[in-house]
Chain A
Amino acid sequence: MHRRQVALLAVGIGTAVLLSRWGEVSHWADALVRQERVRPKRVVYWTSSGSPEVDLKRAREFMREYPDTAVLPNFRETGGLQDVLFASFLSGSPPDVLGVSLSDIREMVAAGMLRPLDGFLERQLAREPDFLTNRVDGEPGVYRFRANPSDEYIRAMDRYPRRAARLLHMHGKFLGFRNTHGIDTLTYNKRLFRLAARMFPDEGLVDEHGEPVPPSTWSELYRVAKVITRYGREAAAAKGEADPLCYGLVVQGQRPYDLMRGIRPLAARAGSMGFDFAGKRWVEGVDRRVGRFEYEHPGFLGAFALLLKLKREGCILPGAESRHYEDVRTELASGHAAMLIDGWHAALIGAERVPWAAKDLGSAPVPVPDAAAAELLGLDRLGIRFPREANKQPRAPTGKPECITSLARSPEAAWHWLLYRSDPQVVRSEARRGVLPVTYEAARHLDDPEWFPYPYQKQVWAVLVRHCQMWPEPPIHGQVRPTQADVFRKYFYQTELDDLGEIVRAARREVMACSRAANADLARRVRRGEVQPDFWTFPAWDPRRAREFFDRQRAFAREGELAARIEALKRKLPPRYRTVGTGYEPQESPWQFLWIPGLMLAVVCGYVAVVALRPSRSLGATAARARAGWEAYVFVVPALLALFAFVIYPAFYQLYLSLHRIPGIAPPKYVGWANFRRIFAFGAEGWDAAFWAKVLPNTVVYMVVVTGGQIAIGLVLASLLNLPLRANRVYRVFYFVPLVTSLAIVSVIFLGLFSGTDSGLNQLLDAAGLRDLPYWLGLVDEPGRRLDWLGSSKTDLGCVVFVGMWHGLPYTVILLLAGLQSVSPTLYDAAKVDGAGPWQRFWHVTIPELLPILIVIVFNALIGAARAFSAAYVLTEGGADHSSELVSTYIFKLGFTRPEGQEPDLGYASALGVVYALLLGALTAVNVWVIARRWRRRQGPKAPGGPANA
């Protein structure tokens, strides 16, 4: 016996130690397993200038400057390497890869500028076999990469566009992630080609088996273009339609001169030719004639004006439900696809071939910055006006230094942020933040014609920086609304104003107002001492001399001066912020758990006092009783400890937190009811409208629909499962299995079934012939278009509700079944004798008998639904603009993540938590009351009242 106890004790202590050391153990185990993986370092990418020599020169310079950095210029020759990188980005481990082209890699390795990564590429390639091609025979370890983007690559791009954009932005070093092939990349519409080849077998496009032979040379391609054209004409004529412009020839290109070089001869040789600029993803079902181009650094206003133009033309459908449009916005906002144009390039090759670009262009003469540029760009045809007069008269400097802030956790990170627009620690929500499409890289190359080939662009840049006070990172100062990105969206969506120039002017006005408000807010917060050292501030910012500023910053970094400068800045801060640096963690007293025994002691003392004050019982007798039954306290203590630690103490602590402002790293500051005022001060400044307008209604809808649906479906199911069928034992298993599964994991599975336009749900709809269901429901504005059910703000809450309901259903069914089985069969017999049919029996016997337990079930379901977190969090993370946010996810996001790049607002989250707790507590209290009443009725014969269901 004794030995057993010792053994038990040893096991207990061992387990306790293991539990407390599990962090280290698991870390060690993880490192052990993953040690052969390549750990990501820092990779710098940039977009090719179009000239390999220039790119190589830049890469070398850069690497000389930053020896620890890997550089991947985005060359034409490296399409395959890019594929590999892209794949590795998708797999979540950005590699430390260097590479230009094979010969360049060799050369650079020989020069000692690159270090070979032993085996990394091979491993990566073996993982992603599709992205590999052309293994050079006989030379182990040497690969050549595809010069053209493979079908797989394009498919992958189509599959992951938004995620890719987000991911790449998250890593933040990517200026455009599309392949930057010139006209070398020329593909064609495969479907049309097959059709055409089969229709005109005498054109020589088929082989001896009658299979279409894909073109392998340029001249064959021209022939294909001609045949496809012929096919298109005849098909259109057969349908009685106008001559189509799209003949399926796809031209991808990055820069106008590439296209010029490529398209003109093509157009000349293929006779008639239209465009389908690989735009399947962008313009599917909109207008096949609209192409899509990306151009790297056009400036904000240019992009804005052209987007506006596209919208006018109906090429981009406005509305948040349009996935394509969302893509445009995401990419535009994250600075990847800085410009999406068509007419620009269309004009380059002659408007007569692209009729839509020539029509409806306005009759007024267009004042453009530069006549030559205007002609080159065809701006007059597009109807874009830039107010020239305003350009001529630059705004007088205000004399006050403006501020720019950058979101970073440390000086190093701030510097990193400024350089690469990324902070390793910045959370992923960063990618959703609206960032305007102008980058620091562009500023560095303002005078470089490779970056700004047209004078017009430089001018736009000047307008942007000088007049809009806008910079790569628009100032983000916490609560200031609207942001510049909001203004951008607002004017993009507006419909009242007609004149493009006027819209641009108005947008600029508001953007400037935002900028001013943000700066004023920052200044105010600095005065009040609220500015957090997490937001490094650069007071010497002068928007007119951005380039010098950044050069200086870079010089600081190189010379180690940045640290000194930041130290100097820190010295100006209030003393409690001085210790802040890299890796600073908010500290709290580790002794706060002592409050728990303290609270317990207080409760015991209170009880003793109550006993002592009571005349009926003497304190001595009570103490004697307690001494006699002392073991009981040992029995009670463990559970009570847990109760105090996880229920009672947190409740007080929550109240404490909700009355404070906790700015992340500084000690809490008492603010009274300010946090609650943010919730309840309707309409006042700082009032949290989103909570009342979105979050709370969503939660109520979720609770009501989930509960109602569960009860309704559950009743039907339970009645069926209660039938005396022998197979019901098997059926029950079918329905009860979700009971034991985790809602989070189930949500992950449903994510696979719901997400994307090619989701399982959409395929199911297609198979059922209901492809147009979203259109009938008014969810998309065009028949035949597919809906991203989780991406649309109209349906995502529905998806969350569905998953929640599905998961909770078996629980309800079990309870209902238990209720049904407790209904006495004699009642049914009696009803049968009275001549009641099955429906009547259900309505008049089952439901009334079930009513008491039904109330319990309803409350159970309501409480469960109010607590729901996982489904909403996993499926949508609250959705865009809180469209599927529940209170629980809202609190979680406020308290533990950085929405919109702000610090977690623990005080406000706690205040919300208090409100939420009251809601939940009220529900639970009612539930407990109902159950207790039922118990009393059932058990207590003395209980007053008539029959149970009176």
Chain B
Amino acid sequence: MPDARGHRRTALAWLRYRGWTLAAHLVLLGFGLANLYPFIWMLGTSLKAEEEASLERQSPVPQVKYSLADGAGAAVPPDLSRAQLGLLATLRKPGVAVSLEAYMHRSGRELEAARRELEALVARGLLEREDPATYRLAASGTRDVAGGLNARQLLMLLSLDEENQRRRENRATFAEDSWPVGAYAKKYRVSRERAAEEIGQMVERGLLVPGRAQPVNYWVVLKEENFILHFLTSLVVTVAVVFLTVLSTSMLGYALARMSFPGKMLVLGLMLAGAVAPREAVIIPIFRLLKSMGALEGLWGMVLWLTGVGIGNAFLMAGFFLTLPREVEEAAAVDGAGAFRTFFDVALPMARPIVMTVGLFAFLTAWNNFLIPLLCTVSQPSMQPLAVAVYNFQRGHPGKWHQINAAAAVMIVPVILLFLVLQRHIVRSIAVGAVKA
């Protein structure tokens, strides 16, 4: 008999039973999202336009901005100049006077041209002539200048059109010009509500198109700031480091696990010493060594250094080879395969899981390391891989967070995607690697 009391009781019972679970869910979800906030902010900001990115930092979601619809520039009558519209937009009350001289001054026209333009406005019924040198704003001048739009709206359309044209001509940026409501309000000194209303009117008439994201930041960063090159560099370095690390560590690991040769204990001891020796403390001698060899002219210095960082993974390899059955290799040997053939064609394919793990570690090291590329590209800025390039971009463009974040996303998003795909493997590798290595 489920009456109201009964319902409440079952709800309470459910809460008592499930309450802890619910709390755990909430805590995990809340903190998880907070944990991701930097990345959310990064992605959001990388899609903003510049003035938003530096001013409205608290929200990662880009504002709505309005850009010109196709052909909307034609809504501005060609016989109205910018100066005329500007004048109308400034004199906001009917009856406010403007002198011919003041108009000359503000528009930079000659006397005759200025007079002609003012007379044109009089002819349109927007101004009234008081005396030959003074004009007053007519009653209709505030509301309907052309096609039901007021001077501010027309000015906005004109500005957007001109700006777009200029950008196309100069190819300075790929973004179409767009204004948020706030910019409109600020530029024409009206309240936000008024600005929203006037812009809404233009959107309704199909003159403006609202939009949020400005993905062109990525293109700017990639092309203009040449991050394609840095990305390629990172990629090349990473591939080379992964290949070399996997090759050298698997060979050493195989030798340690399977072969017996005089000096094995010596090699093991050296490896242990190498595992204990700190790498970060000896940057100066390594840098000088590589520089004197000329290895920093190209990528070799960086690649070798990063490979050297991952040599300790040979222990992981050795541990894995020990777990493989010997019989397969013995069978291969019986079939007449030499040591190399056995290793490359039999043992290595069997060791795929650990090769993936070590390769993953090498990948993360090569892609993410900062100190080593920083040192290796001191004299060759064009050779920087992404980590250093992003850092330097941030230094060189202070405050341009829309582009800095786009650059950061160029570097981070691929690895995050990779993580999502390989998540289980990565997590298991790390657990295994930390405990064994």
- What residues make up the interface of A, taking CB atoms closer than 8 Å to B? 15-16, 18-24, 26-27, 29-30, 33-34, 90-92, 119, 122-123, 125-127, 129-130, 134-137, 144, 151, 159-160, 163, 167, 207-209, 211-214, 216-217, 588-590, 592-593, 603-604, 607, 611, 622-623, 625-626, 629, 631-636, 638-640, 642-643, 645-651, 653-654, 657, 717, 720-721, 723, 725, 727-728, 731-746, 748-753, 758-760, 763-764, 767, 806, 811, 814-815, 817-818, 853, 856-857, 860, 867, 869-870, 873-874, 888, 891-892, 895-896, 906, 909-910, 913-914, 916-917, 920-921, 924-925, 928, 931
Contacts of B177 in A (CB 8 A): 129
Other-chain residue from B38, B173, B261, B364 in contact with A629 (beta carbon distance below 8 A): B261
Q: Are A741 and B412 in contact (CB under 8 A)?
A: yes
Q: Are A740 and B426 in contact (CB under 8 A)?
A: yes
Q: Contact flags (1/0) for B1-36 with A, using CB distance below 8 Å?
A: 000000000000000000001001101110111011
Provide the bound-state CA to CA distance between A131 and B334, in Å.
80
What does DSSP make chain B's interface, helix, strand, loop or mixed?
Answer: helix
Contacts of B304 in A (CB 8 A): 642, 645-646
CB of B308 within 8 A of chain A? yes
Shortest beta-carbon distance from B344 to chain A in Å: 11
Identify 26 residue pairs between A and B in the complex whose beta-carbon atoms are under 8 Å apart, listed by A's number: A21-B298, A29-B226, A167-B398, A625-B260, A626-B261, A632-B264, A638-B251, A638-B252, A640-B270, A645-B289, A645-B304, A727-B28, A733-B419, A737-B419, A744-B370, A744-B388, A745-B386, A745-B391, A745-B412, A748-B391, A752-B42, A752-B405, A869-B370, A895-B283, A914-B281, A924-B278
Shortest beta-carbon distance from A443 to chain B in Å: 32
Provide the bound-state CA to CA distance between A173 and B254, in Å.
62
Q: Are A91 and B400 in contact (CB under 8 A)?
A: yes
Provide the bound-state CA to CA distance between A670 and B35, in Å.
52
Provide the bound-state CA to CA distance between A109 and B46, in Å.
41
Q: Are A648 and B240 in contact (CB under 8 A)?
A: no
Q: Contact flags (1/0) for B236-249 with A, using CB distance below 8 Å?
A: 10001000100111
Contacts of B411 in A (CB 8 A): 742, 745
Q: Contact flags (1/0) for B274-288 with A, using CB distance below 8 Å?
A: 111111111111111
Q: Which of B347-386 contact A (CB under 8 A)?
A: 364, 367-371, 375, 378, 380, 382-383, 386
Shortest beta-carbon distance from B48 to chain A in Å: 12
Known: A635-B252, A717-B31, A758-B57. 10 other contacts (CB 8 A): A207-B92, A208-B142, A213-B189, A635-B259, A638-B248, A738-B35, A743-B370, A869-B370, A921-B278, A928-B275
Other-chain residue from A15, A622, A721, A811 in contact with B430 (beta carbon distance below 8 A): A811
Q: Are B186 and A151 in contact (CB under 8 A)?
A: yes
Provide the bound-state CA to CA distance between A24 and B58, in Å.
43
Other-chain residue from B248, B276, B418 in contact with A642 (beta carbon distance below 8 A): B248
Q: Are A916 and B281 in contact (CB under 8 A)?
A: yes
Q: Are B249 and A126 in contact (CB under 8 A)?
A: no
Given A22-B233, A737-B39, residue A30 in contact with residue B186 (CB < 8 A): no
Other-chain residue from A163, A723, A895 in contact with B24 (beta carbon distance below 8 A): A723
What does DSSP make chain A's interface, helix, strand, loop or mixed?
Answer: helix
Shortest beta-carbon distance from A189 to chain B in Å: 14
Q: Are A650 and B399 in contact (CB under 8 A)?
A: no
Q: Are A635 and B254 in contact (CB under 8 A)?
A: yes
Question: Taking CB as reference atom, which chain B residue is nearest A803?
Answer: B38
Q: Are A90 and B397 in contact (CB under 8 A)?
A: yes
Shortest beta-carbon distance from A230 to chain B in Å: 21
Other-chain residue from B102, B274, B284, B305 in contact with A909 (beta carbon distance below 8 A): B284
Provide the bound-state CA to CA distance between A343 and B87, in Å.
40
Provide the bound-state CA to CA distance between A635 and B3, in Å.
78
Given A91-B400, A657-B285, A920-B281, residue A127 in contact with residue B172 (CB < 8 A): yes
Given A126-B167, A748-B404, A917-B277, residue A735 in contact with residue B35 (CB < 8 A): yes
Q: Are A752 and B41 in contact (CB under 8 A)?
A: yes
Q: Are B284 and A721 in contact (CB under 8 A)?
A: no
Provide the bound-state CA to CA distance between A593 and B401, in Å.
43
Q: Which of B294-320 contact A (CB under 8 A)?
A: 294, 297-300, 303-305, 307-309, 311, 314
Provide the bound-state CA to CA distance between A767 and B260, in Å.
67
Question: Taking CB as reference atom, which chain B residue is nearest A587?
Answer: B292
Provide the bound-state CA to CA distance between A745 and B373, in Å.
13
Q: Are A913 and B25 in contact (CB under 8 A)?
A: no
Q: Are B277 and A921 in contact (CB under 8 A)?
A: yes
Contacts of B236 in A (CB 8 A): 18-19, 22
CB of B336 within 8 A of chain A? no
Q: Are B311 and A643 in contact (CB under 8 A)?
A: yes
Given A144-B108, A869-B280, A917-B282, residue A631 in contact with residue B259 (CB < 8 A): yes
Contacts of B104 in A (CB 8 A): none
CB of B51 within 8 A of chain A? yes
Contacts of B190 in A (CB 8 A): 211
Contacts of B146 in A (CB 8 A): none
Provide the bound-state CA to CA distance between A22 and B172, in Å.
29
Q: Are B229 and A26 in contact (CB under 8 A)?
A: yes
Q: Are A760 and B434 in contact (CB under 8 A)?
A: no
Q: Are A625 and B90 in contact (CB under 8 A)?
A: no
- What residues make up the interface of B, taking CB atoms closer than 8 Å to A? 21, 24-25, 27-29, 31-33, 35-36, 38-39, 41-42, 45, 51, 54, 57-58, 81-83, 90, 92-94, 102, 108, 142, 162-163, 166-167, 169-170, 172-173, 177, 186, 189-191, 194, 223-224, 226, 229, 233, 236, 240, 244, 247-249, 251-252, 254-255, 259-264, 266-267, 270-289, 291-294, 297-300, 303-305, 307-309, 311, 314, 338-340, 343, 364, 367-371, 375, 378, 380, 382-383, 386-388, 390-391, 394, 396-401, 404-405, 408, 411-412, 415-416, 418-420, 423, 426-427, 430-431, 434-435
Other-chain residue from B273, B276, B300, B430 in contact with A19 (beta carbon distance below 8 A): B300
Given A607-B263, A748-B390, A920-B281, residue A20 in contact with residue B32 (CB < 8 A): no
Most buried by A among B170, B283, B287, B380: B283
Contacts of B82 in A (CB 8 A): 135, 137
Other-chain residue from B314, B397, B405 in contact with A639 (beta carbon distance below 8 A): B314
Other-chain residue from A603, A604, A924 in contact with B275 (beta carbon distance below 8 A): A924
Provide the bound-state CA to CA distance between A211 and B371, in Å.
56
Question: Taking CB as reference atom, which chain B residue is nearest A730?
Answer: B32
Q: Are A721 and B194 in contact (CB under 8 A)?
A: no
Q: Are A913 and B282 in contact (CB under 8 A)?
A: yes
Provide the bound-state CA to CA distance between A650 and B304, in Å.
14
Provide the bound-state CA to CA distance between A423 and B82, in Å.
45
Provide the bound-state CA to CA distance between A857 and B431, in Å.
11
Contacts of B261 in A (CB 8 A): 625-626, 629, 632-633
Q: Are B281 and A734 in contact (CB under 8 A)?
A: no
Contacts of A33 in B (CB 8 A): 223-224, 226, 229
Provide the bound-state CA to CA distance between A214 and B430, in Å.
64
Contacts of B378 in A (CB 8 A): 896
Q: Are A640 and B267 in contact (CB under 8 A)?
A: yes
Other-chain residue from A207, A611, A751 in contact with B262 (beta carbon distance below 8 A): A611
Shortest beta-carbon distance from A177 to chain B in Å: 15
Question: Taking CB as reference atom, which chain B residue is nearest A871?
Answer: B370
Q: Are A727 and B382 in contact (CB under 8 A)?
A: no
Contacts of B24 in A (CB 8 A): 720, 723, 725
Other-chain residue from B226, B399, B415 in contact with A30 (beta carbon distance below 8 A): B226
Q: Are A814 and B262 in contact (CB under 8 A)?
A: no
**Complex A-B, nearest 9 residue pairs according to Cβ-Cβ distance, in ascending order:** A734-B32, A646-B308, A920-B278, A742-B368, A744-B370, A917-B281, A631-B339, A653-B285, A635-B255
Given A30-B226, A731-B32, residue A741 in contact with residue B415 (CB < 8 A): yes
Q: Are A647 and B419 in contact (CB under 8 A)?
A: no
Contacts of B369 in A (CB 8 A): 742
Provide the bound-state CA to CA distance between A292 and B83, in Å.
36
Provide the bound-state CA to CA distance between A163 and B367, in Å.
30
Provide the bound-state CA to CA distance between A137 and B81, in Å.
8
Contacts of A592 in B (CB 8 A): 289, 292-293
Contacts of A643 in B (CB 8 A): 270-271, 274, 308, 311
Given A646-B305, A737-B419, residue A629 in contact with residue B282 (CB < 8 A): no
Provide the bound-state CA to CA distance between A163 and B54, in Å.
15
